[in-house]
C-alpha cells in the first residue's frame, strides 16, 4: 500500500510505502527533537509550519533510501496548504464520478459528480449521441416522437435518476460546456426546476437553436457564468475556463469538491483563432489537479491537410481570389472561427460575402461575447432572405425582419455580379434551388469546409457534380491533436487521466502512464 500526502484541499502526492514510512518515521523521531516532526508521524498530521519543513531539511542520513524519501517529503510539504495529512486515502472525503455516456464514443456526453455527502449532484453536459450502440449513425428523427419513458427504456436518454421532467428532481444543477448538440442536445428533457449553467455564447446559440429548430428548451432557468470566475454550487466550487474550439465560448470546468480537484476539458483544441488559450492554460495551469477528464476525439483520426485556422483562411483566399464566377462555401453557421476565416478571405480578395438570414441572426446573437464578430451591417456582408428563415424570425419577433433589411440582397444582384460573390451555403432544399438557378448564369466552384464525414453521408457531392460545380475540401478540426492532449496533460500533471469523447479510450494508455479507463455508468470514488 502506498501512503500519500494530503492537505486541506486534497491529494498532494505519493509519499512512501508502509515499509518506507515506518523507516523514515523511526529514523526521524530518533534523530530530531523537533516537536512538529514528532506530531506529524505520531498523529498522521501537522500544521505546515516552517519548523516542520526546516526540521526535515536538517535531517541527514547516509542511507540513500531514507535520504530520498525525506527529500520527496520536503518537496511535497512545500506545496501543502495549512495542514499536512499522511493517509492511505481512507477517511479522506471523496466525491463520486460517473460518466453516463462518452467513455467509448464521441457524442452523447453526460458526466455526473456527486459530493461525498450525497447532497449535491452535478451533471456536466447532456448531449445527444452521434452513433447508436452498433456505431451506425444516430438518427434523432426516428425517435423524435417517442415518449420520455420510451427514450429512457431504449437507453437513448442516459440513466440519471432525478434529472428528467417526469422525476422528482434530485440533480442540483446542470453545467454545459458548449453549444454542440452532442453536449447539450437533450437539454429539453431536463426537469424545469433544475438550474442550468452555461457561458453567454452557449446561451446565445441555444436560443438560436430554440428559434430555428424548435428544440423546446426552457431557458428561463439559465444562469450564465463569467470565464475564470469561481462560483459555488453547494459543496462544489466551479471555475470555468474559456477554451479554443469550433463552438464559440466553449468551456472547460475546474471543479473542486471534498478536497478533490477535477478538470473536465469539454471539447478543445489549440489551433483555432483562440489557440493562444491553450498556450496560456499550459503556461499557467491550475495547480494540483487530481483528475483530468479529457476528450480524445482525434485519436484514430487523420489530422488532415490544414493544420490550423490560419492555413484554412489562406487556402480560402487563394481559391476565392483566383475564381472567375461564383464561389459557394459550405460550413456550419455556428462555427464562428470558420465564419471569420471565410469573411476575412472574402474581404481580402475584394469580394462580397452573402450569408443567409439564419447566419445573420447567429452572428447578431453572438455579438454579446465580442465586438469583433462580423455583423450584417459590416462592409462586404449581405444577407439573403429565404421564406423559411424569414418566417421563423417573424414568429419570434417581426422587428427582426426589418433589422437586417439594410443588408438584404436579391437573387438578381447575385446573378449579375457572380465574379464578385462568395455565398455561404447549406445542403438544404432552398440552397439547392438557388444553386440550380444560378448555374444557368455562371460557372462556379464549391468549398466544403466541414468534417469530411458529413460529405460522405449525403449526396451533396453528386448534386454539385450534376451542376458542373467542382468541390474542394478546406477544413481543420475542432478537436485537439495528440500533441495538444499531451501538452495539456504535461501542464496539469493530474494524478489520473480519464478518457472521454473518444472511440479509442485504450489509446490513452499508450500515451499516458496514469489512465483510468471507465465504462459508461461505472461509478468511481475520487480520492
Tell me which residues touch Zn ion (CB under 5 A).
180, 267
CB of 340 to Zn ion, least distance (A): 17
267/309 with CB nearer Zn ion:
267
7/249 with CB nearer Zn ion:
249
Q: Which three cell numbers stand for residue 446?
A: 464549391
Q: How far apart are CA 60 and CA 173, in angstroms?
A: 52
Burial code of 416-455, b = ≥16 C-beta within 10 A, e = fewer? Answer: eebeebbbbbbbeeebbebbeebbeebebbbbbbbbeeeb
Other C-beta atoms within 10 Å of 509: how many?
A: 14
Other C-beta atoms within 10 Å of 42: how many?
A: 11
CB of 203 to Zn ion, least distance (A): 16
Q: How far apart are CA 499 and CA 507, in angstroms?
A: 9
180/347 with CB nearer Zn ion:
180
Question: Which residues fall within 8 angstroms of residue 179, CB to CB, at 6 or more apart?
Answer: 198, 201, 202, 205, 206, 209, 247, 249, 334
CB of 332 to Zn ion, least distance (A): 11
Burial code of 347-385, b = ≥16 C-beta within 10 A, e = fewer? Answer: bebebbbbbbbbbbbbbbbbeebeeebbebeeebbbbbb
CB of 168 to Zn ion, least distance (A): 32
258/267 with CB nearer Zn ion:
267
180/351 with CB nearer Zn ion:
180
34/337 with CB nearer Zn ion:
337
CB of 501 to Zn ion, least distance (A): 8
CB of 247 to Zn ion, least distance (A): 5
CB of 455 to Zn ion, least distance (A): 19
180/338 with CB nearer Zn ion:
180
Amino acid at each position: 500500500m502506498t501512503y500519500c500526502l494530503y492537505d486541506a484541499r486534497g491529494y498532494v502526492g505519493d509519499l512512501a510505502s508502509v515499509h518506507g514510512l515506518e523507516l523514515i518515521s523511526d529514523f526521524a523521531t530518533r534523530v530530531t527533537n523537533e516537536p512538529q516532526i514528532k506530531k506529524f508521524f505520531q498523529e498522521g498530521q501537522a500544521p505546515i509550519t516552517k519548523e516542520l519543513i526546516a526540521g526535515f531539511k536538517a535531517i541527514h542520513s547516509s542511507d540513500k533510501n531514507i535520504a530520498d524519501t525525506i527529500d520527496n517529503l520536503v518537496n511535497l510539504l512545500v506545496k501543502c496548504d495549512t495542514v499536512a495529512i499522511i493517509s492511505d486515502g481512507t477517511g479522506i472525503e471523496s466525491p463520486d464520478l460517473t460518466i453516463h455516456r462518452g467513455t467509448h464514443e464521441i457524442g452523447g456526453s453526460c458526466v455526473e459528480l456527486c459530493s461525498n455527502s450525497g447532497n449535491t449532484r452535478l451533471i456536466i453536459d447532456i448531449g445527444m449521441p452521434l452513433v447508436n450502440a452498433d456505431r451506425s449513425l444516430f438518427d434523432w428523427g426516428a425517435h423524435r416522437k417517442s415518449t420520455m419513458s420510451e427514450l429512457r427504456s431504449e437507453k437513448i436518454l442516459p440513466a440519471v435518476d432525478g434529472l428528467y421532467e417526469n422525476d422528482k428532481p434530485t440533480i442540483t444543477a446542470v453545467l454545459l460546456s458548449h453549444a454542440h448538440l452532442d453536449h447539450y442536445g437533450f437539454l429539453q428533457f431536463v426537469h424545469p426546476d433544475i438550474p442550468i449553467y452555461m457561458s453567454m455564447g452557449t446561451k446565445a446559440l441555444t436560443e438560436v437553436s430554440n428559434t430555428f429548430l424548435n428544440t423546446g428548451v426552457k431557458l428561463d432557468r439559465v444562469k450564465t457564468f463569467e470565464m475564470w470566475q469561481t462560483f459555488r454550487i453547494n459543496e462544489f466550487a466551479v471555475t470555468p475556463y474559456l477554451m479554443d474550439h469550433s463552438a464559440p465560448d466553449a468551456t472547460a470546468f475546474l471543479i473542486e469538491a471534498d478536497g478533490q480537484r477535477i478538470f473536465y476539458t469539454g471539447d478543445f483544441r489549440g489551433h483555432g483563432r483562440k489557440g493562444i488559450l491553450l498556450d496560456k492554460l499550459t503556461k499557467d495551469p491550475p495547480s494540483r489537479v487530481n483528475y483530468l477528464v479529457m476528450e480524445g476525439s482525434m485519436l484514430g483520426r487523420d489530422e488532415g491537410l490544414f493544420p490550423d485556422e490560419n492555413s484554412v483562411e489562406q487556402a480560402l483566399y487563394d481559391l476565392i481570389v483566383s475564381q472567375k464566377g461564383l464561389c459557394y462555401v459550405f460550413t456550419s453557421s455556428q462555427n464562428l472561427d470558420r465564419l471569420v476565416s471565410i469573411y476575412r478571405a472574402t474581404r481580402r480578395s475584394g469580394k462580397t460575402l452573402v450569408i443567409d438570414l439564419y447566419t445573420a441572426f447567429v452572428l447578431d446573437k453572438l455579438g454579446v461575447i465580442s465586438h469583433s464578430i462580423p455583423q450584417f451591417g459590416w462592409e462586404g456582408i449581405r444577407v439573403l432572405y429565404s421564406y423559411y428563415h424569414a418566417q421563423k424570425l417573424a414568429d419570434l419577433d417581426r422587428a427582426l425582419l426589418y433589422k437586417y433589411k439594410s443588408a438584404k440582397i436579391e437573387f438578381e444582384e447575385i446573378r449579375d455580379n457572380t465574379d464578385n460573390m462568395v455565398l455561404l451555403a447549406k445542403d438544404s432544399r432552398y440552397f439547392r434551388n438557388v444553386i440550380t438557378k444560378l448555374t444557368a448564369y455562371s460557372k462556379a466552384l464549391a468549398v466544403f469546409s466541414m468534417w469530411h464525414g458529413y460529405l460522405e453521408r449525403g449526396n451533396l457531392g453528386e448534386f454539385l457534380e450534376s451542376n458542373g460545380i467542382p468541390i474542394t475540401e478546406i477544413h481543420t478540426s475542432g478537436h485537439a491533436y495528440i500533441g495538444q492532449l499531451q501538452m495539456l496533460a504535461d501542464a496539469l500533471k493530474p494524478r489520473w487521466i480519464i478518457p472521454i469523447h473518444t472511440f479509442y479510450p485504450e489509446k490513452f494508455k499508450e500515451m499516458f502512464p496514469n489512465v483510468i479507463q471507465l465504462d459508461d455508468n461505472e461509478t468511481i470514488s475520487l480520492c
